[in-house]
Amino acid sequence: MSQVVISPSSSEVPTKRQLTTKPRLSDRVFAGIVTSGALSSLVILGLIFFFLTFQGFSVLRSQGLRFITGSNWQVVQDSAGNIDPKATEFGIAAMLVGTILSALIAIIVALPISVLSALFLNFYAPPFVKKIMVAVVDLMAAFPSILFGLWGFFILMPSAEYWAKLLHHFLGFIPLFQVEPPIYTRSPFIAGLVLAIMVIPIITSISREVFGQTPPDRIQAAYALGATRWSMIRAVVLPYGRSGVIGGAMLGLGRAMGETVAVYTVLNVVYQINWHVLLGAGGNVASMILLKFGEAGPEEIKALMAAGLILFLLTLVVNSLADFIVRQSGGKGR
């Protein structure tokens, strides 16, 4: 052990430093930079809202509520090429219905599959199978949407048309499944199937996480009371994870409503409100924006901005609600 030798070189005594908990300048600068960086999400979301409103405001004001309730989309010009504000109509009701319809179909198809998959991954799969399957499902979440679009158009659509005909044949008496005239191609049903395949990974991974948080002592208790695996799941896992699964489904709903390219390839944009899911007419707001953007004049662009604003607000509300529900489920029962 060496001894520390303190050798006062001179008679000067260092002044005592003041003890303080006040952050130093460097730390304050650091905190400032990090905070302002973190607020970027607020700034960006705010700017999106501001600019879309700014661009779309004139259309929203001249169209009023008709923008949401009407289903006509026509730009009327007089002989001089000026736009006639009286006759020009922009209404996205049909597109909104199509958006909600195809997203709902997607959730109805995807939710059971996702919940079952999550149950399989958590409670049935051997560890190595689980590892591979989790990777596969996560990979699917990373697939670009254009891939789903092309696959949906070339591969799924011929089969899905056949399924639609079967559905119509056996369940045609239900008004929802009526098809008149008999056009089965590019229907909300097919778009919903493609969207379902896109949101399955999202709902599966959220359900898997929620189910994985089930307190193990309750699971063991259920087994100790003589439960089979299924009755354990029904009595413990499903009630515990219910709200988390609902939140995950709503997150998927938000994703499905904002999807553009995949829907564009498999759904006809037709300006009529269509609740018949097997009929080849519909469209969603996002794909309508893409479709109209190419040939749109300045006034129409403004209307598209307004449509984008509505879509933005719609997905924002759905996502926030989903986030809230998922967050609520996390802390329960601990």
Q: Which residues, numbered 151-180, are part of the site for another protein (CB under 8 A)? A: 151, 153-155, 159
Is residue 144 close enough to count as binding another protein by CB under 8 A?
A: yes
Residue 95 tokens, joined: 């597109």
Q: Which stretch binds another protein (CB under 8 A): 11-19, 31-39, 76-84, 100-108?
A: 31-39
Of the candidates 68, 100, 140, 246, which one interacts with another protein according to CB under 8 A?
140
Of the candidates 52, 195, 236, 270, which one interacts with another protein according to CB under 8 A?
52
Is residue 137 close enough to count as binding another protein by CB under 8 A?
A: yes
Find where tokens 């700017």 sit: 47
Is residue 139 close enough to count as binding another protein by CB under 8 A?
A: yes
Scan residues 179-208 and list those touching another protein (CB under 8 A).
Answer: 197, 200, 204
Is residue 26 close enough to count as binding another protein by CB under 8 A?
A: yes
| Phi-psi sector, 186: left (phi>0), alpha (psi -120 to 50), beta | left
Is residue 316 close enough to count as binding another protein by CB under 8 A?
A: yes
Is residue 236 close enough to count as binding another protein by CB under 8 A?
A: no
- Residue 230 vs 275, nearer CB to another protein: 230
Is residue 224 close enough to count as binding another protein by CB under 8 A?
A: no
The residue type at 269:
V
Rounded to a whole number of angstroms, the minimum distance from the CB of residue 222 to another protein is 13
Query: Total residues contacting another protein (rule CB under 8 A)?
Result: 89
Scan residues 89-118 and list those touching another protein (CB under 8 A).
Answer: 112-117
Q: Which stretch binds another protein (CB under 8 A): 59-67, 170-178, 215-223, 253-261?
A: 253-261
Is residue 308 close enough to count as binding another protein by CB under 8 A?
A: yes
For residue 219, what are the CA distances in angstroms to 119, 120, 212, 222, 231?
Answer: 13, 15, 11, 5, 11
Closest C-alpha to 180, from 266, 282, 283, 280: 280
Rounded to a whole number of angstroms, the minimum distance from the CB of residue 180 to another protein is 26
Cα gap 309→311, rounded to integer Å: 5
Of the candidates 63, 102, 145, 187, which one interacts with another protein according to CB under 8 A?
145
Of the candidates 188, 254, 280, 283, which one interacts with another protein according to CB under 8 A?
254
Scan residues 275-294 and list those touching another protein (CB under 8 A).
Answer: 286, 289-290, 293
Rounded to a whole number of angstroms, the minimum distance from the CB of residue 183 to another protein is 19
| Phi-psi sector, 135: left (phi>0), alpha (psi -120 to 50), beta | alpha
- Residue 199 vs 278, nearer CB to another protein: 199
- Residue 260 vs 274, nearer CB to another protein: 260
Is residue 255 close enough to count as binding another protein by CB under 8 A?
A: yes
Of the candidates 54, 61, 158, 212, which one interacts with another protein according to CB under 8 A?
54
Rounded to a whole number of angstroms, the minimum distance from the CB of residue 23 to another protein is 7
C-beta separation of 192 from 274 below 8 A: no
